[in-house]
Amino acid sequence: MSSDTRRLLEAASALSQLLRMQSIPHAFHGNILSAVMSDSPRCDEIFCIVEGGPTHPFRRVRQAIAGNEHFTTTHSPWSNRLLATYRRLIPAIEIEILPAGEHGPRRLDSSTTMNLKGVPFLTLSEFVRDKLKAWSIRGSDRDANDIIYTLCRYWNRLDINRVPEHDMNHFVTCHRAAALSWTALKKKYGM
């Protein structure tokens, strides 16, 4: 595993431990997921999706991190972003906190998350769904590469019911490398 991936995984693990201690459902995603799955050296994107509860996910994260020497948070009200910064490593690692439902599934449980290297991540189906949504908005090559990698490598593990068919059909017309795997997944589900 590359040093970038190891660093991001360390930060994710540290944040996850703090959130688990407060029983806050969460899952990581970003190109860290495909990097961990492929042992890729390219890994520079990490998000943490956090469920709300009695309070907003941002408040829950700030409370879980409060007093921890390795984490600080930065809230930007004008852009509605919260960054948790892991300062134990140099350079520090920023993890953007995203509210569940706005990003990823509304509920983070055993049907929407999976454990990799001791850290909760979105399932491959939820990862593709969220990356597809992001690609539809931004048209980013990074998102496209993550979708292509996951679809081509793990198509047989995807739940087609979680992948928006119209969006994926459009994606495949723009990225032919994903066409065979998308066709195989549809065939598996009798479509």
Residue of 51, 42, 186 whose CA lies nearest to 105: 51
pLDDT tens for 41-79 read 667 889 999 998 889 999 999 999 999 999 999 998 777
Q: Exposed, middle or buried by CB within 10 Å (0-12, 13-18, 19+), for 96?
A: middle
**Confidence at residue 28, expressed as pLDDT on a 0 to 100 scale:** 97
pLDDT tens for 123-172 read 999 999 999 999 999 999 999 999 999 999 999 999 999 999 999 999 99
**Confidence at residue 42, expressed as pLDDT on a 0 to 100 scale:** 67
Sign of the four-CA dihedral 179, 5, 127, 144: negative
Using a pLDDT cut of 70, give the percent of the chain over it.
98
Question: Domains (ranges, CATH) in the chain?
Answer: 1-122 (3.30.460), 124-190 (no CATH)
Average pLDDT of the chain is: 92
Is 15 a residue whose pLDDT tops 80?
A: yes
Band the pLDDT of 25: cuts 50, 70, 90: very high
Give the span between the Cα atoms of 14 and 1, in whole angstroms.
Answer: 18
**Confidence at residue 187, expressed as pLDDT on a 0 to 100 scale:** 95
**Confidence at residue 149, expressed as pLDDT on a 0 to 100 scale:** 94
